[in-house]
Chains A and B, each alone.
Chain A
Amino acid sequence: EADIYQTPRYLVIGTGKKITLECSQTMGHDKMYWYQQDPGMELHLIHYSYGVNSTEKGDLSSESTVSRIRTEHFPLTLESARPSHTSQYLCASSEWGYGYTFGSGTRLTVV
C-alpha cells in the first residue's frame, strides 16, 4: 500500500501549457524530493525540500518550480511545457537517516 501518491500517472500535453504534478505523502516525512528519469537512464535530482517553506534546486538544472506549503504536499510546476520536458518524474520522501520511499511517478509527454 502506497504512502506517497503522485498524480496524474500519465500526462500528454501540448507545448506551452502550464502543468502541475502532484505529490502527497501520509508518513509525516519532513524531507521530500523530485527526480527526473528518462527511460533506461539514471535518476537526476531536480528539487528537494527539508520541510515547510524550504525548497532547493537539485543537481540537474530544471525549468520547473516547486512549493512546500504543507508537510504532506510537494507539487512541481512547469510554467510552459516543452518537448524537452518529456520524461518520468518521481517524487520521494524520507526521514533523516532512512531510505527513500518513492511514488509511482508521472510519465509526462509534451507534444
Chain B
Amino acid sequence: RKEVEQDPGPFNVPEGATVAFNCTYSNSASQSFFWYRQDCRKEPKLLMSVYSSGNEDGRFTAQLNRASQYISLLIRDSKLSDSATYLCVVNANNNDMRFGAGTRLTVKP
C-alpha cells in the first residue's frame, strides 16, 4: 500500500464548478500536510499547507481528518487556470515528505 493515495482522476469540470479532491495517508504519526500544484511540464509548487482546524485561501479550502487519516482540497468557482495536477503531500517519520501520485484537473469553458 502506498503511503499517500489519491484518486488519479482525471476530473473534467466546467468553469464555475466546485470540485473536491481526496487523499489518504498511512502513517498515523504524520504531522505536516500540504497540497501542491503542478502544471504540465513544470515543477510542483506549494498551493497551501493543511492545518488541523482546516484552512481557506480564497477559493481553496483544505481539511484534515486525523482520525480517518484523510485530507481534502475543495476548489470553488473553478477557473480555466485551475487546470493542473494537484499533489497531496504528507511528512514521514524522518520528516521527509511523501508525495501522492497526483489528481489531474481539467476545467473546461
Contact = CB atoms under 8 A, between A and B. Distances in A.
Interface of A is mostly: loop
A103 B44 CA distance: 9
Contacts of A97: 31-32, 91, 95
A33 B97 CA distance: 10
Given A42-B101, A97-B32, A102 B43 contact: yes
Task: Place the interface of chain B in its size category.
Answer: 20 to 34
Interface of B: 31-32, 34, 36, 41-46, 49, 87, 89, 91, 95-97, 99-102
22 contacts: A31-B96, A33-B96, A39-B41, A41-B101, A42-B100, A43-B87, A90-B43, A96-B95, A97-B31, A97-B95, A99-B34, A99-B36, A99-B46, A99-B89, A100-B44, A100-B46, A100-B97, A101-B46, A102-B43, A103-B43, A104-B42, A104-B43
